[in-house]
Structures are given as structure tokens and as C-alpha cells.
Structure 1
């Protein structure tokens, strides 16, 4: 089973690939899309769930998504047809960091994809290249709620604390106009959903040659979460605008 297939199954019950519940996603979209007729770009869109939700509730919205995964883009395309929004969605199969837009976007999204750019600030630099004057960026990033173990750092990455994360964003020329720190419930629900979905798939498909591997992966990931990073890792979502003297 490829990592891509593992991720697809793991997110069956939680298509937003970040520790956010539906209300939080809805509120972030409300703050990021105040007019409802914006042009929106998702860098690293995966299955396109952010764009699909935005399109479904805003009939004047137009969106584009970029991702390297053909499987995820096919999933996004099929879901767009099911929801009747396919005419307002354009999908690009390429690396998000290599995408070149012909005209700027009012809103740029990136959730669960900052690793593809090499971190939060490089992700914001990529977003800035596509952003129209006065536009907004919606981005999600991990942070350490308390000092992590070396094992946690090696597992998840070299994050900073919440205040330092926001300070770095501000120093980079951005002004937060809203944000959301994922609650313990959101963080736990995300992990239970991911590894529970993968384990359930394995139990439901005992004859599949990937079943044992999927079950073992679910067990390992659940143990890593509970034993290594559950009490130290957090997630922040930011709605950003460019600070005037840097715009």
C-alpha cells in the first residue's frame, strides 16, 4: 500500500486533512471569503475538500487547485461533479511550488501542505506570488504547545511555540486578521478518525494483501500519537493579509 493510498483511506471519515471540525472550517471560510465571488487557489489541494465546500456554498466563487497526486485530483474532480460545482473548479496536476498563475487570486489556501514548500514561511512566499492586492491567505501550521521530546521533533518537525510562530509570520510582512487554535477535541478527533478509519478498512478487508500492513500502520501511528506528541503538539489556522508597507 502506497503512502498516498494509506492517506486516502485514513481520511475517509475526516476529509479535511487537518485537525479542524466542520464549524471551524466554515468559520475560517467565512472570514477568508467575505464577498463570496472570490477567485481562490489551493496550493496542495489534495482531494479538494476546502475548495469543494467553498464552491458549494458560494455560487459566484471560482477556484483552482494544485496537487501532485493524480489520485487525489481524480477524487476532487469526481466530488465536484457530484456536488454540481465542476464548471467553477480547475485542477492542475503539478508541484504546488512550481505552479504559475496567469492572473492573481483573491484568496490563497494551504492546509496540510507546508512541508511541500519547506515550511511555513516558504509557503507564505509562494502564496504571495499568486495573491492579488488586498487578498487573503488561509494557512494551517503545527506548533509546540509545550517543549517536545527529541523523538517528537524528529517525528513531526522543528516547529516553534504558538507566539513565536505568529511573530515570525508578522515579521515576514503579514497581519493576522483572524485565526483558530485547534481544540483538544479537534486534535483528538482527527487522530482517532485517521487511524480508526485505516484500522477499520484493514478489519473489513482481511483477504486484501495490504490488510496486515494497514492494520500495523494504524497501530503504530496511534501509539506514536498517544505516547510521543499528543500532549505537546498543536495546530493553528491563520487568516492573513499583507502588511501595507510590505504589500
Structure 2
């Protein structure tokens, strides 16, 4: 997804995608560029994104406009696409990563959306923003919960999202789920402190949405191809830099980090951790 941070263990809400560039530096050879091959900060194809955006924008199009709130927005690619699909709408992206927010602002300006969207550096936990007509939370459910909240975070996040969406609106939640119950050996191959109760299964995730006051309009999951595309794109800038700078002082550090990340996917959460996209309608309270 678009978030720069997500589960308490990682950056996409799914797995430990640590920043591969390190601190900001002025020497362009001192670190690889950051995530230039990644369109969405999560396993999401262009085709699926088009369908999700179309469904999310439906109430905005019918009303001739409205408001969109993206929590853990990162650079807000999905947010910007919803605004493009719904002329007359305005949006806010909330995130803590200033580099991603700057990328979002630049992208908005280049697409003629600069006057219709704000990217704001603040925490999504206990946010006072909303209600909005469309609320996006893509790989950022953890960001809605206090840091000491016990897992799984999905159910608590869904209750927060229900409060933040306007009547007749839409919520799009992108969230990890276990494709099968992880064993102790599975957990040992994942990120530090991985827990079996960290995620729900897909049925449990849909049921948590219903319990929070939604009806699931659409439940879909990232394909293996989408996962592989995302994971490859996530590391591609770093891998290319390492191939060109094998003896750079930072090469050993970045090589170890990239190798660890790749092994975590290929030997760890591949085919174990799924990623679901739920398009949700709030149940009327009248």
C-alpha cells in the first residue's frame, strides 16, 4: 500500500519492509534511490487498483464530489487515483514519513491535483480527522491503534474506520491475513517477534468488518504474481545500486539487509501471509 509504516513489525502492514536507504545523504552514490520502482506500497496490480478505485469512487461520483481520507497514506497513489476518478472531490493524506509525503505532493502537482489534496505529517492514532465520504487504510491498520495495543489490530482498526466514514460512504481496507495458521517454524522465519495471533484469517477479517458495522461489498486478495512484482520492485533500486557499487563503504550493510529481506519473503511469508482488499459500506444507524 501507500503507507510508509504498517504493522508494528513492518512497513506495508504485512512484513518487515525496512527502509533500504538509511539516512538522507547529499552524495547520490552514497545510497540507492528509494522505491522508485514501486507504484503502490503493497502487492497491488494496476488492474486491481483500477477496480478498487472505481468502486471506492462510486459514492463521490453520484454526489458530484466529496471528501477522501487516506490514513497511513505514504505518497498516496490510491488517494490521487480516487480524486482523478471523482472530479470535485478533495482529499487528505496522513503519514509520518516526510519523504513519502513530499513525493505525494509532487505527484499531485504534476497531475493537476495540487489544489484538491493535502499531505499532512501526523499520526493516524486517535486522529480527529473525518468523517469522510471515502476512507482508505491500505496496509496501515496498526497505525490506527495505540503502540501498546495487543494484536490482532484489524478488529480495533475496523471500529475506528467505522467512526471515520460518513453515512453512505466507503472504506477500503488493505490488510494482511494468514493463509494458514503459522507454525513455530514459520514464525521463526518471519520478522522479529512474529506472533500467530498477529493476523486473522480471511474469514475472520471479513467477520471483523461485519462486527464493526460494515457490509463487505467486495473481498479480494493479492495474487502470487502481485506479491512477486511488489517484492522485486521493492528491492530493485537497492539491488541495481549494489551491482554498481560492490565496494562502496555502505555496500556490506545494504547487501545484508537486502539479502535478509529477500530470504524473509522467499523462505518466510511467501504463500503464508496473504493480503486482502476489502471494500466496505457502513451499515446505516437510523
Q: TM-score, normalised by structure 2?
A: 0.77
Distance 1:211 1:115, change over 3 A: farther
Alignment RMSD, CA only?
A: 2.4
Q: Find the counterpart in structure 2 of residue 51 from structure 1.
A: 79
How many Å separate the matches in 2 of 1:152 and 1:135?
Answer: 39
Distance 1:173 1:13, change over 3 A: same
Cα distance, 1:159 vs. partner?
1.2
Cα distance, 1:165 vs. partner?
1.6
Q: Work out whether 1:145 is the aligned partner of 2:169.
A: no
Q: Find the counterpart in structure 1 of residue 51 from structure 2.
A: 27
Say which of 38, 44, 47 aligns to 2:66.
Answer: 38
Residues 47 and 72, structure 1, Cα contact 8 Å, conserved in 2: yes
Q: TM-score, normalised by structure 1?
A: 0.88
Q: Work out whether 1:163 is the aligned partner of 2:215.
A: no
How many Å separate the matches in 1 of 2:78 and 2:186?
Answer: 28
Cα distance, 1:108 vs. partner?
0.4
Say which of 259, 266, 275 aligns to 1:226.
Answer: 266
Q: Work out whether 1:72 is the aligned partner of 2:112.
A: no
Say which of 140, 145, 157 aligns to 1:113.
Answer: 140
Residues 144 and 232, structure 1, Cα contact 8 Å, conserved in 2: yes
* Cα deviation code 1:122-173 (max 9, x no counterpart): 2223323322111111011111112223354462552122112211221222
Distance 1:75 1:10, change over 3 A: closer
Residues 167 and 284, structure 2, Cα contact 8 Å, conserved in 1: no
Residues 87-236 of structure 1: matches in 2 within 5 Å? 87-101=115-129, 104-118=131-145, 119-150=153-184, 152-153=186-187, 155=191, 157=195, 158-206=198-246, 209-236=249-276
Residues 173 and 279, structure 2, Cα contact 8 Å, conserved in 1: yes
* Cα deviation code 1:62-121 (max 9, x no counterpart): 1111111122111111111122210001122110114322x6310000112112234222
Point out the structure with the larger helix share: 1
* Gaps in structure 2 of 5+ consecutive residues: 1-17, 23-31, 146-152
Distance 1:224 1:62, change over 3 A: same
Residues 54 and 85, structure 2, Cα contact 8 Å, conserved in 1: no
How many Å separate the matches in 1 of 2:39 and 2:215?
Answer: 29
Residues 132 and 169, structure 2, Cα contact 8 Å, conserved in 1: yes
Residues 162 and 212, structure 2, Cα contact 8 Å, conserved in 1: no
Q: Find the counterpart in structure 1 of residue 38 from structure 2.
A: 14
* Cα deviation code 1:199-240 (max 9, x no counterpart): 223334456543332222111111111111212111110011
* Gaps in structure 1 of 5+ consecutive residues: none
